[in-house]
A = this chain, B = another copy of it.
Amino acid sequence: MEEEKRTVRAVERALDVLLCFASRHEWGLTEIAGRVGLHKSTVHRLLATLEDKGFVTRDAATDKYRLGLSVLELSAHLFRSDDPSVVLLPEMEKLRDEISETISLYVRDRSERVRIQAVQSMQAIRRVATVGARLPLSVGASSKVLLAFANDGDRETVLADPSWPAQLDLQTFAKQLDEIVSTGYATSFEEREPGAAAVAAPIFNRSGKLVAALAVSGPSNRLTPDRMHEYAPAIIESAHRMGALLG
């Protein structure tokens, strides 16, 4: 039970502080202290360090903390030219132009998924998808794709995760995933967000490894179940073409 961790506590805490800014732009010192469960003076020191290195700044007006320019600097180097989010962008735009709905690209990160790329529909009513969003793996079409086509080991690890919602019946969920494997795509209708629906298909690289989920999402009155199944073949085909572009 000892679970030796070879990490640095002070750094862990500082990064927790930094990650507060993934859910809100501006934080006060006391707010952060409350959220991360540390003493004010500790957080104060951590923030001073983060500020010194440019990872946070203080808003001139409100005096509250915000993300700093070092984050921007790093984000410029996040992706290489051969990364999925770069390589697949043109194909995503093509699919968007074909279907006229918002296209997202998700990868699994432990027991969550992260949207690593998005191109927006140009319709007046549209799904707006922000790159970088971290979402649960338990709901949504792309979640189910990422789980359904994962290695058995990965799938089990995720489902056994303590953060997994207990009310979900694992039996029926697993059956649902197996169904997705056989049809080759997944749909969700007002599953995570009311008024929104999505279709998703897996992207495998040339070695056959699941790399990402390609999702089409939009308002549920336009993206009806019928319409989604109608789009599915085009999405799967697009996902195939994308896979061929990856190492």
Contacts and interface: CB of A to CB of B under 8 A. Distances in A.
A75 B75 contact: yes
A54 B8 contact: no
A72 B45 CA distance: 25
Contacts of A122: none
Contacts of A80: 25
Contacts of A6: 44-45, 48
A130 B81 CA distance: 13
Contact of A18 (B21, B52, B74): B74
Interface residues of A, number: 49
A34 B13 CA distance: 25
Interface of A: 6-8, 10-12, 14-16, 18-19, 21-25, 44-46, 48-50, 52-55, 61, 67, 69-78, 80, 107, 109, 114, 116, 130-134, 247
Contacts of A132: 69, 72-77
Contact of A74 (B48, B67, B107): B67
A202 B109 CA distance: 43
B49 A15 contact: yes
A76 B7 contact: no
Contacts of A72: 75, 78, 114, 116, 131-132
A197 to B, nearest CB: 23
A107 B74 CA distance: 16
25 contacts: A6-B44, A6-B48, A7-B45, A8-B45, A10-B10, A11-B11, A11-B49, A12-B53, A15-B53, A15-B55, A19-B70, A54-B109, A61-B247, A67-B74, A67-B77, A67-B78, A69-B107, A69-B114, A69-B134, A71-B78, A72-B78, A72-B132, A73-B132, A74-B75, A75-B75
A18 to B, nearest CB: 7
Nearest to A68: B109
Contact of A46 (B8, B45, B116): B8
